[in-house]
Structures are given as structure tokens and as C-alpha cells.
Structure 1
Amino acid sequence: MINEEKLNILMIEDSEKDIDRVLQILSQGGFKIDCLCVSTAEALHDALMIRDWNVVLSDYDLPRLSAQEVLQVIKSKELDIPLIIISSHVGEEAAEHIMALGAYDFIMKSNLARLVPAIRRSLHEVENYQRFITTQTALQKSEALFQVITSNLPGVVFQFLLSGNHQASFPYVSDASETLLGLSPQMLMDRPELFPELILQEDKKTYHQLMITSAEQLSTWNWEGCIQVKGDSDIKWISLRATPRRVSDNATLWDGIMINITRNKLAEREIARSREQLAELSSYLQRVKEQERARIAREIHDDIGGTLTAIKCELFPCMDSTARKQEFYQQKAKSVESLVDRVIDSTRRISLDLRPGILDCGIVAAVQWQAKEFSDRNGIACKVSCEEDEISLDSDLAIAIFRVFQETLTNISKHANASRIQVKLIELEGLVLLEVIDNGRGITDIDMEKQDSFGIRGMRERCQQLKGNFHISGDKGKGTKVTILIPTGNPEYQSGHVNGLESGLERPVPLEAVKKKKKVSRL
């Protein structure tokens, strides 16, 4: 026979005549039969172990094996093999009972014409069932993978449906909605209006406008706005991005994700604020530079220039041919000497303002000298404590630390109203710690946040350029403490170049680490 379909049949039958008749009908039905007949439970167990069977044909009630027992054996082995009962003396109630237990079909031996269609139908259903199981398994794996992905995404994965009459719903929401929105997925799916209620009033208009535009043009829905979760005082920035597609009844379905971008927004604001402060500081420094140039120019013009003019005037009478007494020339010489001494003093003073020569003696000597100069000029006691006579530093680094110290003393004289200052300068395992404490009125947060607090801002920027740490704190009525901590082995300062933008990316040295190092060094 052409195109015969191979069929592995396990028969539970003890009548040779019935077996031959069944096999003949199946052969005529287009099957190429491979058949094994058994009639005991032991033989049934063995047969199910040695081969895969397409179908089991069983008599209803053999002396040593019933159809009900056959079903139990097949189920115990968790096999998906259709069982068809073939019998000649079973009533309708018994047939219904065995079908309820799991038999696929019940055929009377007197009507075997139904056998071939029944077998084909059972094979087809088994094949469909196996496909269903395979598809269901693949779907379960896909759903498990989807759940793993969505649970690890930093946001809420969702589906949003807008019907033709503008009714909104959430067919799906991931578990992250509880964390981001303070709403469980089920709450949001049951009451979709809860989400727009979280949006701040000033952002609701753009939310709805962009949603409608996306639905009309089938373009990506991009929206950023602020929400406030019920019971939470903080405001969150969220970013919503979803891709639309048209579904039935002119409805639009979006697949998208919502993520928390609060940290990014705060960082953007901080960057913008830092840039603004940097621009203000740069402008301030430029003004200070011009003012300093003007001051130096005035001093040179008024002081040195005036003195040199006076010297010229003293020398002018000595250049004519008029005969004069020796006392006249001696008086002129003394006057010129006095004026030259004044020029020397002015030159030294201007030079010290630009760069104190004491820095050539080291940072310790420079700090001690500046403290004494400050104390003599302002009448404020300034005590310097240093465990070492000298700290070896790169010249540029020493100048930077000295300038921060100068600016700190200037701020104290202007604002602190202090009577006593304690200065500590210490080297700790590659770090320089400068600590200045006064007993003045104590700086406040408001003072530090003032727009014109360029002194503090400049010191902080200088320390950041040195990859160091600047900290200032005040106790009202008790005083202010300024702490700077700078690495001594800064490669950028060793090479004589500092890039403020690049150094701003470096992490400053934590003060806690210094305190620990300080304790260890003292032990």
C-alpha cells in the first residue's frame, strides 16, 4: 500500500480471533502496524518500558487485567498514550464510567468500523496536545524571563490603552510600580486614574497633550514631569517613554517604561548651579585681578613714581655749573639717600604683597609669619601649632595653601569679630592638614550660601583643583572652624599645571580618614 502510516499499537487482548480482526481493519485503513499483545499487568509494565506506543487498545475486562487497571498503570507512568476500549459485552453505564476515568473512546467489537477514525482522531489530538504543551512551556519560560527582566529594570514596565472614546486603562503594570509610584500593579490596573492624580498640576497639561499627539500620529510618547506619591514629602522626576500601536475599535495601545530620573535632574541642576557659580567666581576673580593691578599701578605711580620725581628734583640743582658750598651737596645727598630708602621700602612692600619672600623658607615659616603679621595688624591673638619645623612641599602647592590661609584670615578679620585664633598645620602620610579655628560669632549656612561669598567659594575651588577637601562649619556664638586637607604628591602640581575641570572629577580625601591617620600617627 502506498503512503502507509506507521502505527505502534499495544493491545491488551487474549482472543487471537479478535486480534487478527483488529489488525486486518487497521491495515485496510492505511496503517503499517507494529503490534504487541499482552494480557497481564506484568507484561503491560514491561511493554510500556521497552517502547513508545502510539495507542493502546484494550478489552474491557480480561481475566487477569481490566481496562481500569490499564488506565491506572498508564497514569502512574505519566504517559500521554490514548486508550481505546474495545469490548463486546459492556453496558452503557460501564462505558461512561471508564470514559470518565480517562479512556479516549469506547468501541463495540460489533462495530469496528469506528476504530480507524477513532485512532486517527486520537493521534491528531495527542499531537495537538503535545504542541500545546510545548507552546505552553515556551510561553512559561518567556513569561518567567520577562518577569526577571522587568523586575531588574530600574523602572515600571507598563501597557497603556486609550480607547476610541478616550477611556484610559493599564492592561499590564510591573511590580516596580509599588516602589516608584506607591501603587501596586493591581491598584493601578483597577483604577488607572490614580496615576494622573500623582502628577503635579503644572505638568498635567503636557502629559495629556503629548499622549494625544502620540495617539493621533502614532509617534513615540516621550514625557518628563514631576509626581508626588501620597504620604511622601519628596517630589520625584520621572521619564515616560512608550511606543504606540493601533488596535481594534480605533484604540491605541502603548508599550513603555517609566523610570525615576530625580537623581539625574538634581545632578543637572547642581551642574548648572556650579557652572553659574564658577562663572560668577571667574568674573569676581577677574575684577579682583583688575583691582589689584590698579592698586599696584597706583602705588607704583603715587609712591615710587612720586619718590623718584622727588629724587630727580633733589638732583636737578646739582647738575648746573653754579658754585655751591659742600654743605649743600651733603644735604642733597642725605635727602636723596632717604628718598632711595623709601623707594626700597615701597618696592619690598609691593613685592611682599605679590609673593612673600618668606615662602622660600617653607610653608611652616610662611604660615607663622603671616599669623604674626595678621596679629600685629589686627590685634587678634593668632597661635600656630605645628609638630614639625618644616613640611616639604612643591612651591606651587605651598603658595596655594598659603593663599587659602590668607583668605581665611581675611574673612575672620572682616566677619568673625573674633579675639583668638588657633592654627594647626600637620603633615600626615602624604597629606597636609591646615586647621583654623576662631572664637568669633560663628558662620551660618545662610552666610555660606550667599551669592557674594566669593572668598569661601574661591577657597573651595582652589582645594578641589588640588584634589583636596575643604570644609567649613560654625557654631553660633562660639566660632568657626575651617579645615583643608590636600595630598602632597599631587602629580598635576608637581608638573606645574592644574586643570580645574579634570581635577573636579576626582574624589576629595574624606576627613574621617585623616582623623584616623592622625590618631595612628600620634600613637
Structure 2
Amino acid sequence: MVKTLNMLLVGYSAEDAQRICRTLKEGDLYFNSECINTIDAFSKALVECSWDVILSDAMTDLGAEQVLFYLAMHHLTIPVIVVSSQGSDESAVHFMKAGAQDFILMACMVRLIPAIQRSLKQMEALHHICEAQLALQKSEARFRAIASNLPGLVFQFLLNRDGSKSFPYVSEGSIMLLGILPTALIEQPDLFTDLILPEDRVTYDELMQTSARHFSTWNWEGRIQVKGDPDIKWVSLRATPRRPLNDAVLWDGIVMNISRNKLAEIEIARSHAQLAELSSYLQKIKEHERAKIAREIHDDIGGTLTAIKCELVPFMDTKPRKPDFYQQKAASIEKLVDYVIDSTRRISMDLRPGILDFGIVAAIEWQARKFSKRTEIPCQFYCDSEDIPLDADLATAIFRIFQEILTNIYKHAGA
């Protein structure tokens, strides 16, 4: 069953509100909406209804800035999308930093529905994260008594008023994680900080002091290197403070090995960078194709049409001429028209090669054979699938990249 969204429109004129609703209906989005223009009406609407998303203008008295401030002050997590008739990159960055999910100009309303769908998914993910965090907090108290059964290193860490530190308790997990016996770590608490890489030691101390001052959870992630082990480990420390006697701070916590997760994060970041590079390359190819086609239209078709026009001039005057003259002109015009037709067919082929109708695999195989035949450079193509289903734009882009690769090979082949 399709969910009906509750959508609050803030600061819009009746005309703009109708335009937004019309765009959403055309995109088959099911929703209930209410449009308000005062802070009192906004506050009342938040109390009376549970809203899935808020759309706010940026240029009115009750604008996106006031909406985001109000939600932050009342700790409300409702996705806000700024939809405005005016704006710049700077204003978009400003609102995104303030907490908006997206910034969309009225002239680009095609982005609205994807932005709403993306925001709802992000809110759902955030809700799951919050639920997981709450469950973790509730479970920590229960698991402190059975620390020996938990993976990683379970510990108690004491920070005295005079700044001295100690480990009243360390679980057997210290052997696996740190290569240090629990008794050794209890006797020499600095053994743990000695394992921390120098560049991460500052944040370790800073977050510990912040937790002690504000009596907040101590969360730290950093790298350690066990003596004799060439590999560097990523560890996560999480501890809850409490106050025993003598104004000291005692943390109950756990240190876990998160190296696998961190390596996955690094790989994801690398993949994102490669994807961004590919996207940029695709854009360059598109711009190159546009320039090439524009040049061909201007030079080939434009020049030929001008020539046809010149050939037609004698037909417009009243000066008598021999039939042979008109026959020659007609033959010349026919050749020029044929040239225009050929140029049009060639440019259409360049826009989207007809071979792509047979699939991207067949198109690339055909291009490879054509390249080998034309340049006498051996080119072999292998694919374990007869076809790979792609949309037209993506197939064309990949085909253009392959053509560009072959062109670069020919340029640098020393031929």
C-alpha cells in the first residue's frame, strides 16, 4: 500500500503552493498538505499533526532559516527542503549547513520528488540508528557484570582529582587486542597510551577530559600498534562516567577492534572518489560531443544550405536563360541536397550510433573490429555476457568512452 505523506508548506503564496502541489501530483506522489505563513500557525501545526516533510521558502518573513531554528530549539527531527524562486550556491550551502536536506530552485522542480524521497530514506535510517543507540545504552548496564563474555577489552578507568590515572579492572580481552596481560595494564596504565599512534593521542586525551568535565559519554576512535605487530589496528573506545569517592571520575567501558569497518569506510570513500572522477569524465565527453556536433552543423549543413540559396537566386529573377542553364542549376542543387541528407544522417549517427540498438556488447565489439580494420592495430574484445541491459543515455556514454579510449590509443601508438 502506498503511503500518503503529510507535507507542511511554509511561507508560500497560494500560487507557489499550488505549483508545488501540482508538481508532486504529476509525479504520482500521494500526500496531504497544509500551507501556513505565520510562526503561530507553524507552531500549532507541529502540535496537531505528525509531518513527514516540510517545504519552506527562503525569501519570505517566515522562511527556512526560522523553520530550521525552531526545529533545532525544540529538538524536532523533521526533514526540511528549501524550495525557493531565488537563491545562489552560497545560500544553498548556508541552508544545508543549518540543517536543510536540500535546496531547490522553482526553476528546477524536477528535483523535488527525488529530494523528498531521499530525505525520507535518510530520516528512516536516522530513526533506525537512534533506536539502535538507545538499545545499546540500555544494554550496557546489563553487560558490565558479564564483561568476560564480551569481545574486545572491557575496562574500568579511573581519573583522580590530582590527574593520576589507573585501570582498576581490565578483562582478559587485553591479551588478544593489545598483547598485554590484564595485570600488567593494571600495574602500568601508561602501557595503553604508549600503543596509541602519536597523531591520535591528542584526541584521546581531549575527549577523556571533555567527558570528565561534562560527565558525558567518552567516545573515541583511533589507531594503535601492538609491539612486534607490523599491522596498525583501528579501535573504538566507549565508556560511561560515574563519580565514586574523592571527586574522581570512573569510566566503565569497552575497547573493540574496528579495523575491518574502517578499511571498508576507506574503500567506500575511494569508490566515491572514483565515481566522481568518472562522472566528471562523462561530462567532459558530453561537452566535447556537443561542440563537435555544433561545429559540424555550422560548417557542413550551414555552408551547404548557403550554397543552395546561392544556386536558387537565378530562379528568382526574370532574366531569360537557356534550359541547359536551369538543368545545370537543378543538378547542382540536387547534389547539394544529397550532401545535406548525408551530413544529417552522419550527425544523427554521431548523436546515437544505430549499432547501440543491438546492445552495448555488440556495439563495442563492432567498434573494436572497425578500429582494427582502419588502423591495423590488433584489438580483441571479450565479454562473458551476450548483452548488458543499460538505459540509452548510459549505453551511449559508455560507447563514447570506449571510442575515446581507442582514439587515445591511436594517437599514442607511435603510428
Query: Which secondary structure state, in structure 2, belongs to the residue aligned with residue 323 of structure 1?
Result: coil
Q: Distance in 2 between matches of 1:241 and 1:146?
A: 13
Residues 323/369 of structure 1: CA separation in 2 closer, same or farther (3 Å cut): farther
Alpha-carbon shift at residue 284 of structure 1 (Å): 3.3
Match of 1:111 in 2: none
Q: Distance in 1 between matches of 2:325 and 2:287?
A: 45
Counterpart AA for 1:414? N
Match of 1:411 among 405, 409, 414: 405
Alpha-carbon shift at residue 387 of structure 1 (Å): 11
Q: How does 1:36-47 map to 2 (within 5 A)?
A: none
Residues 412/174 of structure 1: CA separation in 2 closer, same or farther (3 Å cut): farther
2:262 is the alignment partner of 1:259: no
Query: Which secondary structure state, in structure 1, belongs to the residue aligned with residue 163 of structure 2?
Result: coil
Alpha-carbon shift at residue 339 of structure 1 (Å): 1.2
Alpha-carbon shift at residue 190 of structure 1 (Å): 2.4
Query: Which secondary structure state, in structure 2, belongs to the residue aligned with residue 255 of structure 1?
Result: strand
Match of 1:134 in 2: none
Residues 151/401 of structure 1: CA separation in 2 closer, same or farther (3 Å cut): farther
Match of 2:242 among 239, 242, 245: 245
Query: Is 1:246–1:252's contact at 8 Å kept on the other side of the alignment?
Result: yes
Counterpart AA for 1:407? I
Counterpart AA for 1:325? K
Query: Is 2:175–2:181's contact at 8 Å kept on the other side of the alignment?
Result: yes
* Offset from partner CA, 1:45-87 (integer Å, 9 cap, x none): xxxxxxxxxxxxxxxxxxxxxxxxxxxxxxxxxxxxxxxxxxx
Q: How does 1:153-302 map to 2 (within 5 A)?
A: 153-302=150-299
Alpha-carbon shift at residue 355 of structure 1 (Å): 1.9
Query: Is 1:366–1:402's contact at 8 Å kept on the other side of the alignment?
Result: no
Query: Is 1:363–1:398's contact at 8 Å kept on the other side of the alignment?
Result: no
Q: Distance in 1 between matches of 2:272 and 2:361?
A: 35
Query: Is 1:367–1:402's contact at 8 Å kept on the other side of the alignment?
Result: no
Q: Distance in 2 between matches of 1:249 and 1:386?
A: 73
Q: Distance in 2 between matches of 1:405 and 1:295?
A: 16
How many pairs were matched up? 273
Match of 2:376 among 360, 379, 386: 379
Residues 374/221 of structure 1: CA separation in 2 closer, same or farther (3 Å cut): same
Query: Is 1:160–1:170's contact at 8 Å kept on the other side of the alignment?
Result: yes
Query: Which secondary structure state, in structure 1, belongs to the residue aligned with residue 369 of structure 2?
Result: helix
Match of 1:62 in 2: none
Q: Distance in 1 between matches of 2:183 and 2:232?
A: 23
Query: Which secondary structure state, in structure 2, belongs to the residue aligned with residue 183 of structure 1?
Result: coil
Query: Is 2:361–2:387's contact at 8 Å kept on the other side of the alignment?
Result: no
Query: Is 1:162–1:251's contact at 8 Å kept on the other side of the alignment?
Result: yes
Residues 401/285 of structure 1: CA separation in 2 closer, same or farther (3 Å cut): closer
TM-score, normalising length: structure 1: 0.46
Counterpart AA for 1:267? A
Q: How does 1:355-366 map to 2 (within 5 A)?
A: 355-360=352-357, 366=363
* Offset from partner CA, 1:85-137 (integer Å, 9 cap, x none): xxxxxxxxxxxxxxxxxxxxxxxxxxxxxxxxxxxxxxxxxxxxxxxxxxxxx
Counterpart AA for 2:161? G
Match of 1:328 in 2: 325
2:302 is the alignment partner of 1:305: yes
Residues 153/405 of structure 1: CA separation in 2 closer, same or farther (3 Å cut): farther
Q: Distance in 1 between matches of 2:271 and 2:186?
A: 43
Q: Distance in 1 between matches of 2:274 and 2:339?
A: 43
Query: Is 1:220–1:244's contact at 8 Å kept on the other side of the alignment?
Result: yes
Query: Which secondary structure state, in structure 1, belongs to the residue aligned with residue 319 of structure 2?
Result: coil
Residues 310/223 of structure 1: CA separation in 2 closer, same or farther (3 Å cut): same
Query: Is 1:159–1:254's contact at 8 Å kept on the other side of the alignment?
Result: yes
Query: Is 1:223–1:239's contact at 8 Å kept on the other side of the alignment?
Result: yes
Counterpart AA for 2:243? R
Q: Distance in 2 between matches of 1:249 and 1:312?
A: 101
* Offset from partner CA, 1:187-240 (integer Å, 9 cap, x none): 212221100101111222222233233334433222222211112222222222
Residues 170/238 of structure 1: CA separation in 2 closer, same or farther (3 Å cut): same
Match of 1:34 in 2: none
TM-score, normalising length: structure 2: 0.57
Residues 280/298 of structure 1: CA separation in 2 closer, same or farther (3 Å cut): same
Alpha-carbon shift at residue 320 of structure 1 (Å): 1.5
Query: Is 1:244–1:252's contact at 8 Å kept on the other side of the alignment?
Result: yes
Q: Percent identity?
A: 62
Alpha-carbon shift at residue 384 of structure 1 (Å): 6.4
Q: Distance in 2 between matches of 1:177 and 1:331?
A: 98
Q: Kindly indicate whether structure 1 or structure 2 has the higher relative contact order, using CA contacts under 8 Å at least 6 residues apart.
A: 2
What's the RMSD between the two structures over aligned residues? Answer: 3.5
Q: Distance in 2 between matches of 1:164 and 1:387?
A: 68
Alpha-carbon shift at residue 169 of structure 1 (Å): 1.7
Query: Is 1:173–1:188's contact at 8 Å kept on the other side of the alignment?
Result: yes
Alpha-carbon shift at residue 158 of structure 1 (Å): 0.4
Alpha-carbon shift at residue 348 of structure 1 (Å): 1.8
Q: Distance in 2 between matches of 1:175 and 1:415?
A: 60
* Long gaps (5+) in structure 1: 1-144, 420-439, 441-523
Q: Distance in 2 between matches of 1:204 and 1:244?
A: 20
* Offset from partner CA, 1:4-57 (integer Å, 9 cap, x none): xxxxxxxxxxxxxxxxxxxxxxxxxxxxxxxxxxxxxxxxxxxxxxxxxxxxxx
Query: Which secondary structure state, in structure 2, belongs to the residue aligned with residue 249 of structure 1?
Result: coil
Query: Is 1:412–1:418's contact at 8 Å kept on the other side of the alignment?
Result: no
